Chains A and B, each alone.
Chain A
Amino acid sequence: MSIVFWIFAVITLGGALAAMLLRSLVHSALAVTLSFAGLALMFLELGAQFAGFTQFLVYIGAVAILVVFAILLTRSSEETGSGVFSPTWLRGLVIAAAVFAVLGWSILNSAAALPGTTAEPVASVQQIGQALMGPYVLPLEIVAVLLTSALIGAVIVAMHEKEGAE
Chain B
Amino acid sequence: MTPLTGYLLLAALLFAIGLAGALTRRNAILVLIGIELMLNAANLNLIAFWRYGPHPEALTGFMFAIFSIAVAAAEAAVGLGLVIQIYRHAKTTDLDLMNRMKG
B partners with A:
yes
Give residues in A with beta carbon < 8 Å to B: 1-2, 5, 9, 12-13, 16-17, 19-20, 25, 28-29, 32, 35-36, 39, 42-43, 46-48, 50-51, 54-55, 58-59, 62-63, 66-67, 69-71, 73-74, 76, 80, 82-89, 91-93, 95-97, 99-100, 103-104, 107-108, 111, 114-118, 120-121, 123, 127-128, 131-132, 136, 139, 143, 146-147, 150-151, 153-155, 157-158
Q: What are the 6 A-B residue pairs with the smallest beta carbon separation, nearest first?
A: A92-B23, A121-B56, A20-B21, A100-B16, A150-B74, A96-B20
24 A-B interface contacts by CB (under 8 A): A5-B6, A13-B13, A16-B18, A17-B17, A29-B33, A35-B37, A46-B7, A59-B36, A59-B40, A63-B72, A85-B26, A89-B23, A92-B24, A99-B15, A99-B16, A111-B2, A114-B5, A115-B2, A118-B51, A123-B59, A150-B73, A154-B80, A154-B81, A157-B81
Residue ID in chain B nearest A157 by CB atoms: B81
Considering only CB atoms, which chain A residue lies closest to B95 in the complex? A86
CB distance from A105 to the nearest CB of B (A): 10
Q: How far is the CB of B92 from chain A (nearest CB, A)?
A: 8
Collect the chain B residues with CB atoms within 8 Å of residue A120's CB: 51
Contact surface of B with A, Cβ cutoff 8 Å: 1-10, 12-21, 23-27, 29-30, 32-34, 36-37, 40, 43-44, 47-48, 50-54, 56-57, 59, 62-63, 65-67, 69-78, 80-85, 87, 92-96
Name the distance in Å between A92's Cβ and chain B's nearest Cβ. Answer: 3
Cβ contact within 8 Å between B20 and A86: no
